[in-house]
Amino acid sequence: MIEAKSLTKKFDAKTALDKISFSIGSGSLFGLVGSNGAGKSTFLRTAAGIYRPDGGEILVDGMAPFENSAVKSRLFFIPDYPYFIPQSTLTDMADFYRRYYPEWNRDKFEKLCGIFPIGKKDKIVNMSKGMQRQAAVICALSTQPRYLLMDEIFDGLDPVMRQLLKRIISSEVAERRMTVIIASHNLRELEDVCDHVGLFHRGGILLERELDELKLGIHKLQAVFRPIPLMSAFAPLDIVKAETRGSLVSLVVRGHREEILKKINSMGPVFSELLTLTLEEVFISEMEVAGYDIENILK
Amino acid sequence: MTLKIFSNRAAKEWKETFLWVLKKNRGIMALFALLLMIALPVGLMVAFSSAGVNLYITEPVNETFSRYFLTLSIYIVNPLLLLFVLVLSALLFSYLHNKRSVDLFHSLPAGRVPMLLGRWSAALTILFLPLLLSCLTAFAVGASYGVDARYCLAAPMVQLLQSMLMAAAALTFSIFIAVCTGTTFDMILSILAINISYPLLILTGTEFAKLLLPGLGWNVQPDSVLFTALAPFAAACLPFPNLLFAAGNSSAYFGSIKGNFLTWWLGMTLVLLFSSLFFYMRRKSECAESGFAFALPKIVIRFLVTAVAGIGAGLIFSLSGSNGGMFFPGLLLGSLAAHVTVEAVYSRGFGQMKKSFVFYGGFAALFVLFYGVLATGCFGYDTYVPSAQDVESITVSSVSSPVRALQYYYGSDTIGDTRGTQIAEITPTIRETENVKAVLNAIQAHVDEVRKTQYPYGLDSSTGNETIDLEYHLKNGAVVTRSYHAAVNTADNTSEISKMIDKIVQLPEYIQTSTLIFYIEPQMIGSVDLESKSSGNSNTFAPDQAQKEELLRAVQKDVLNRKPGTEDSTVNSSALVIQIKDKLVPTGKLKELTGNYSGEVTLYPIQVELNENTPNINAVLERFGWRQ
């Protein structure tokens, strides 16, 4: 379990993380979303023990990761631009990591090298951005980490590799109860793979929720009425957002699917349907309710 | 139990880092080994081959080996070692200066202490293994030429250990700077800046102080601890001339090795290592690619460079005037230019320039304080003259007085062994109580006069033609040095400093301890030449024992009676040249002077101009019938 308690990190006068508090349970796939400069990468680096917090604390399995080899041996961090030893090959990197990570698994390394189309003897510096990320993932998973922290991991990967990566990560979580944190500003990538999400904004966490709870508890309702009833007629519904265009009423409504349908059908619509919101739409709705200009936050 | 687990883990992390760095840099190690092999064993083979048939004739082969080994070590191996120290420091510690590499290394399950120690020890291994290998090969090469290692191992081994110590010090210093800086460019720049500016600051600071503070008698020696105390690269290079000078002779070589110098650098290496660990533990990972991780080194470097440039420019400017008035414009221009340049280079622009002038103000305040302390006599330094009862002896290390025409010549003031290596120096020494009192009184009178007329002191940019350097050897074992100088018109023989020098150099004890003629005995004289300068003819005589005794007494009497300021007429004069026997074993006063040296020494001939100032010699030569 990773717990942030009033975690603060400053870079000179700029506060990158401002007293954030939340926790990430073991075995979860946690998506960190937010715009550029929101503090996602800083949070990951602090969790990986690279940065020392300037206030509060971050605990991994109850221990602070900074200068704690015992904790770090269970963690692996893939930054947005992974670094490799100059002039090294994947084999060299494997030799490097096996020295430090007690759970290094050579068989897994060989297996992953077979899955990802990468030459073990090729110099990593000559590889494309996407291949370098694949190399980083191979090394990371071969250390069999209990916590895998990844920053913008899908950048540069082609759609096939993205799906492959998501599948491998999901199976690792299922098999070993590995906890994964993925930071991204791309909500569509995260909603396929994550079970929890947290929204960062200007060093703070605006929202942290289970994805199913978030998505199943809110729906988009579209209904055609002739004539259109007064808005007060929709009062039994927990409306987040309402919009009327001609005879079409579009509502974002909280609540269970069946209950919403029952209530709306009792009003005698010509046509009605309940749609599932994308993660981005959910965030936009929730944040607007909270008073944030979410479109700007997620830009 | 927790401690044990931690220790085991840290030891494993150190071991893995050490082995990985060694493996990763085995190419560098091989290259270094190759270059050292060329420098030392191959260099020795070339030197031995060049010596050819003379190898076993001119000196014992063991000594030749030792001399060649030391020369190659000092001239080629040491600079090569320092170059690789710099290269390795940049290769192994530049990871601290790149955000991406910091992400990798600081997220590894390895503590910072074992990681730094692992890299440090691997770097030392990369440096020392090839060095030891090349030395062993060099000994094998020597053995093939008949060198017996039992008799020539000591000096090369000491040189090897000294090189290793200085390489370790330079490497640890570089690591300390790497930890404190944010980029590799700043790291290299800082290493160079400190190693150049610190010794220069000591040098320029001392010269400046000597212009301001009367009596300051401290001269910077290249192998003194203070001169290079914070600059290990300079410390590893600057004593080279001394070492090289002594390299031809093992005993002289050991004499040139200074214990306090080595002790200082052993201690400094440890201090730098612990400081590196301390600062690395506190270093923020996010400092990579930024300016300095810690402010202090930048402040120190900026101060050093500003002070060196300021005082240096001040001294150069002051040469254009006799009263030192031009020093201050030079100081201002030099220090400002240096401050602005350092700030612009380290801050990559002028954005922080305004703020940085706070530190320039700090430099200015420190300089004013330094100037004030010197101008007011440095807490009594200017007026200090020890009391006679505290003084064991006074030596006059140098004296120059054109007013008193003291540059007469009675043979070399150094004594060498048969190969020309210096083993002793003739230094005028005052020991008798009455003479000590007389010297101290003369100095006191001069000091009082200077204090009365020149206090508070101003810059005197003229180095002075009248100078005297003294050492008080106190009964408590302390040695206090003083140097007095003044620019005096040669027509003026009433100046206070000239009077002081007069009183000292006219003491019989001074003359008897300042000239080689008073250290030799009649039996040491080989032959006597009489040279006529007008005709260029020279006659050689072989005196018997009685003639030697009489001649020596006459020469000593004339030298003793000669007054300073009496000019030798060199036109149409003759010269007496006393040739000393070759390969002389010192006895009597000479033995005492050489510190009871038991080997053979070589003395230069003693030459005396013959004129009206040498009546006793003239009379003896007439009596012997040697003079035509």
State the DSSP string of A249-298.
Answer: EEEEEES-HHHHHHHHHTT--SEEEEEEPPHHHHHHHHHHHTT--HHHHT
**For testing the chain B interface, which of A67, A69, A72 should be mutated: the one with the most B CBs within 10 Å?**
A69
The verdict on B271 touching A (C-beta cutoff 8 Å) is no
B109-144 in b/e form (b: 16+ CB < 10 A) is bbbbbbbbbbbbbbbbebbbebbeebbebbbebbee
| Residues B578, B621: Cα–Cα separation, whole Å | 13
pLDDT single digits (tens) A194-231? 999 998 888 888 888 888 877 778 888 899 988 888 88
Contact A204, A15 (CB under 8 A): no
Residue B215, H or E segment: strand B215-216
Identity of the highest mean pLDDT range in A94-108, B291-305, B564-578:
A94-108
| Residues B155, B150: Cα–Cα separation, whole Å | 11
Does the pTM surpass 0.90? The reply is no
For residue B113, give the nearest of B19, B182, B179, B25 by alpha carbon: B179
Cα dihedral sign, A76-A81-A86-A89: positive
Measured between beta carbons, the chain B residues lying within 8 angstroms of A85 are 24
pLDDT single digits (tens) B450-476? 899 888 888 876 656 678 889 999 999
Pair of tokens at residue A62: 């109850």
Flag the least confident range among A128-137, B9-18, B267-276, B484-493.
B484-493
The backbone torsions φ and ψ at residue A78, rounded to the nearest 5 degrees and listed phi first, read -105, 110
B586 prior amide bond cis, ω within 30: no
pLDDT above 80 for B495: no
Taking the CA of residue A41 and the nearest CA in chain B, the distance in Å comes to 11
Pair of tokens at residue B151: 């008799």
Say what the pLDDT of residue A41 is: 94
Question: Is A83 close to B281, i.e. CB distance below 8 A?
Answer: no
Top pLDDT among B278 and B596 is at: B278
For every residue of B543-597, DSSP letters joined together read: --HHHHHHHHHHHHHHHHHPPTTPPP--TT-EEEEEEEPSSBPP-HHHHHHTTS-
| Residues B618, B628: Cα–Cα separation, whole Å | 11
Average pLDDT, chain B: 86
B408 secondary structure, DSSP code: -
**Residue A115 vs residues A111, A142, A198, A263, B430: alpha-carbon distances, Å:** 6, 13, 31, 51, 92
Cα dihedral sign, B228-B233-B234-B236: positive
Mean pLDDT on A167-178: 92
Mean pLDDT on B560-585: 73
A227 prior amide bond cis, ω within 30: yes
| Residues B250, B82: Cα–Cα separation, whole Å | 25
Mean pLDDT on B51-78: 78
For residue B209, give the nearest of B301, B314, B300, B364 by alpha carbon: B314
SS (H, E, C) B456-499: CCCCCCCCCCEEEEEEEEECCCCEEEEEEEECCCCCCCCCHHHH
| Residues B582, B73: Cα–Cα separation, whole Å | 33
Pair of tokens at residue B90: 């940049």
Banded pLDDT at A101 (limits 50, 70, 90)? very high
The backbone torsions φ and ψ at residue B383, rounded to the nearest 5 degrees and listed phi first, read -100, 0
pLDDT single digits (tens) A273-289? 988 888 878 777 777 77
Q: Are strands B466-474 and B391-400 parallel, antiparallel or unpaired?
A: antiparallel
The backbone torsions φ and ψ at residue B602, rounded to the nearest 5 degrees and listed phi first, read -120, 125
The percent of residues above 90 in pLDDT, for chain B, comes to 49
- Assign A59 to helix, strand or coil: strand
Say what the pLDDT of residue B410 is: 61
For every residue of B319-387, DSSP letters joined together read: TT-SSSTTHHHHHHHHHHHHHHHHHHHHHTSSTTHHHHHHHHHHHHHHHHHHHHHHHTTTTTTTT----
Residue A150, H or E segment: strand A147-151
Taking the CA of residue B110 and the nearest CA in chain A, the distance in Å comes to 5
**For testing the chain B interface, which of A51, A76, A85, A100 should be mutated: the one with the most B CBs within 10 Å?**
A100
Measured between beta carbons, the chain A residues lying within 8 angstroms of B103 are 45, 50, 77, 79, 83
ipTM over the 0.95 cut-off: no
**Unique residue bearing structure tokens 């930071």:** A183
Banded pLDDT at B332 (limits 50, 70, 90)? very high
pLDDT single digits (tens) B134-163? 999 999 999 888 888 777 788 888 889 999
Pair of tokens at residue A253: 């409504």
Top pLDDT among B68 and A292 is at: B68
To the nearest 10 degrees (0 to 180), the angle between helices B78-93 and B184-212 is 130
User: Which residues on neighbouring strands pair with residue B178, listed in sequence order?
Assistant: none
pLDDT single digits (tens) B20-29? 999 999 999 9
Identify the burial level of B175 via C-beta atoms within 10 angstroms of its C-beta, where 0-12 means exposed, 13-18 middle and 19 or more buried.
buried
Mean pLDDT on B424-440: 91
Pair of tokens at residue B617: 């010699």
Say what the pLDDT of residue B247 is: 54
Count of C-beta atoms within a 10 Å radius of residue B201: 22
Question: Is B285 close to A85, i.e. CB distance below 8 A?
Answer: no
What chain B residue is nearest to A136 in terms of C-alpha separation? Answer: B104
Banded pLDDT at B407 (limits 50, 70, 90)? very low
What chain B residue is nearest to A53 in terms of C-alpha separation? Answer: B284
**Unique residue bearing structure tokens 């120190």:** B300
Structural domains of chain A sorted by starting position, each given as residue range(s) with its CATH number in brackets:
2-210 (3.40.50.300), 217-297 (3.30.70)
Say what the pLDDT of residue B459 is: 82
Flag the least confident range among A114-118, A134-138, B110-114, B578-582.
B578-582
